[in-house]
Amino acid sequence: MSATAPQTTAATAPAGPRVVVLDHGSGNVRSVVRALEAAGADVALTADREQALAADGLVVPGVGAYAATLAQILAVGGDRIIERRLAGGRPVLGICVGLQVMFDGGEEHGEQTRGLGQWPGEVTRLQADVVPHMGWNTVEPPAGTLLFDGVAEQRFYFVHSYAARSWEMEQIGSMRLPQVTWAEHGGDRFVAAVENGALMATQFHPEKSGAAGAALLGNWLRSLPRTQAQGTAPAGGAAAPAGGAAA
């Protein structure tokens, strides 16, 4: 009587970090989803509050006008989701206008719009001969950057007419200041990225920045703390808020 060979089961590869791309009507979400998936994330495109709170990371994309993007984010309760995540030290990544709305406000066509207020300062029109700033550009990351690890000398793809052209957060006591990456267009310097604890953001589009953008997204994904129970939002308040108002 012949023995039956034991069945072998192939090892199941661990799932990538769970990331929600906030679905608020932005036009660039599909390319963001594909880029995150290619970088190894398990991605959901949704505005569902519970999924957004439970995810390992939340991505807030944005293209077009400041006021319109902010209105879309507010319409799906994105401001409360972002605030709740940051209050618990849960990572958020803004892209393009998703970076801009994190500031106190923005000015477009003479109209002021109040932003989410995570960082002090205003978003204003670039002061350059050629606007919009469209194409590949180098950046100036600070020492110790996480996002630009291994790609500090690379070029990234920008499409924008407005930017945060100054950084207004001052040192208070022993508070650790955010790491700010700069870029320049037509002699006008502007904020290209911010790394502020759980809150990070880029003015450029990593999803359109080829291998350099893919590496940057990979750096962010590897930094995400992984939740143990899928579908269960972690308790808030365990870590200090990452937003500028309380950083």
- Print burial letters for 164-184: b (CB count within 10 Å at least 16), e (below 16): bbebebeeeeeeeebbbbebe
Q: What's the gap between Cα 199 and its chain centre?
A: 7
| Coil vs helix vs strand at 28 | coil
Q: How far apart are CA 62 and CA 160, in angstroms?
A: 11
Is 96 an active-site residue?
yes
Catalytic-residue membership of 24: no
Cα torsion for 128, 131, 134, 139, to the nearest 10°?
20
Q: Are 92 and 82 in contact (CB under 8 A)?
A: yes
Indicate which residue of 24, 133, 160, 205 is catalytic: 205
- 83 catalytic? Reply is no
Radius of gyration of the chain (CA): 19
**For residues 12 and 32, what is the distance between their CA atoms, to the nearest angstrom?**
26
Give the active site residue among 122, 133, 185, 207.
207
Q: What are phi and psi of 150, to 5 degrees?
A: 85, -10
Cα–Cα distance between 201 and 177 in angstroms, integer?
15
Task: Considering the candidates 24, 96, 133, 185, report the single residue annotated as catalytic.
Answer: 96
Active site residues: 96, 205, 207
